[in-house]
Amino acid sequence: MGSGQQPIRSVAASVLLAVEHGQSLSQCLPPALNRVGEGERAELQALCYGTCRWFQRLDGELQGRLKKPLRKQDRVVHHLMLVALFQLRFSEQATYAVLNESVEACRALDKPHLTGLVNGVLRAAEREGAPEPKDDSVRFSHPQWMVDKLRHNWPRDWQRILDANNTQAPMTLRVNALRFAREHYLGLLQEAGIEATATRFAPHAVQLARPVPVDRLPWFADGAASVQDEAAQLCTTLLDLAPGQRVLDACAAPGGKTCAILEACGELSEVVAIDESAERLPRVQENLDRLDLTATLKQADAADIDSWWDGTEFDRILLDVPCSATGVIRRHPDIKLLRRESDIAPLAWIQLGLLEAMWSILKPGGRLVYATCSVFPQENHRIIQRFVKQQPDAGLIEPDVAWGRDTGAGRQLLPDPDSHDGFFYAVLEKPEP
């Protein structure tokens, strides 16, 4: 451990405490990576993601082993023990290393008075093994409200959804159709010693057998491919793109779908990409630059049309709305700690408001694709049903596709442990006058 660097478990505990206080891993993990040695960064990420993934199960066990909760000012040590339990239950780390280094990490957190507790709890956990889960929240390692909601919404599938959420998502690429045919790029991957297969539904997607660093991917830096889940890639097939169209990608950051739209049809008249976040828009530009693509980027609230719209209607609109992200928990396990049941109703109002705003700038004869990475009907087909009921000129199109479940107002993909994330799509068309 070099100068200024800290024990990896103490850093992981601090990251998890930040998540408990409302920060996402994407916010608090990047700066934390600089607090450990370069060779430890992948392990730190694995500890943080893994502990979040199994948080409810680990926390259920830990609470059963503590005679009383730790004081608020010592809460970071609670998370330190969760990290250690994760390693004991789900990693191949040597037990003696987990125990000894967790005690040292406790000292590094300036909590020497709790080293005896940490040592005792972890030794008992190692000696006694994992307890039988008391309830579904602990068994499936999800917050109870989420388990209940999934059980209610998907009575035949809820356990499969929960199990899928606890798997590690595969690494999927979108081959740049302006540069390579999918079969050609699969051949390049094979030559590079990277095992991959074509996906079932997205025409330009390939799934890797094992994740690899992007710098190992053939021609990645030159724009040959991008990392994007298969479900997210399906938006281009639903937009029915054609040369000369003006296309809007609302809520665009980090830009994967913007780039997919430009790759899918090289002769669009303009692609406008909007996002409310000034911090996230540069990432969109970085993706465009790497792929040698051009779009008009605007920082704005898409629903506040007067602040950004130039008065020219769009032929195609992709509306990938803010949502609970419950279809991508396996990629973002901190969602289990961050999301609250009380978030869903306000999100639904935002989603409906965005849909109403975007409809007003869609050209007659145009098409709007509504998308979420949620598995909750309240954010998905129920929004579409409400909108169609109040908007008489909104025509609901049932796409002729082989994927997803027909909800009667759009198609729902549930997370598949062997392929795509959970996603929802609905296609609406505005009639000609």
From the list 251, 259, 323, 373, the catalytic residue is 373
Using an 8 Å Cβ cutoff, are 425 and 417 in contact? no
Distances in Å between the Cα of 221 and the Cα atoms of 172, 224, 240, 276, 297 are 16, 7, 29, 27, 22
**Residue 373 annotated to the active site:** yes
Of residues 70, 97, 120, the one with CA closest to residue 8? 97
Using an 8 Å Cβ cutoff, are 267 and 293 in contact? no
Helices 256-264 & 281-291 angle (0-180, nearest 10): 30
Query: How many Å apart are CA 320 and CA 302, to the nearest integer?
Result: 11
Which two three-digit tokens encode residue 16?
A: 């998890």
State the residue for tokens 């609905």: 426
CA 24 to mean position of chain CA atoms: 11
Q: Burial level of 96, CB count in 10 A (0-12/13-18/19+)?
A: exposed
Measured torsion, CA atoms of residues 316, 317, 318, 322, in degrees rounded to the nearest 10? 180
Residue 112 C-beta-side C-alpha neighbours within 13 Å: 0
Using an 8 Å Cβ cutoff, are 103 and 118 in contact? yes
Q: Cα angle vertex 292, ends 287, 297, to 5°? A: 55
Using an 8 Å Cβ cutoff, are 139 and 57 in contact? yes
- Tell me which residues are annotated as active site: 373
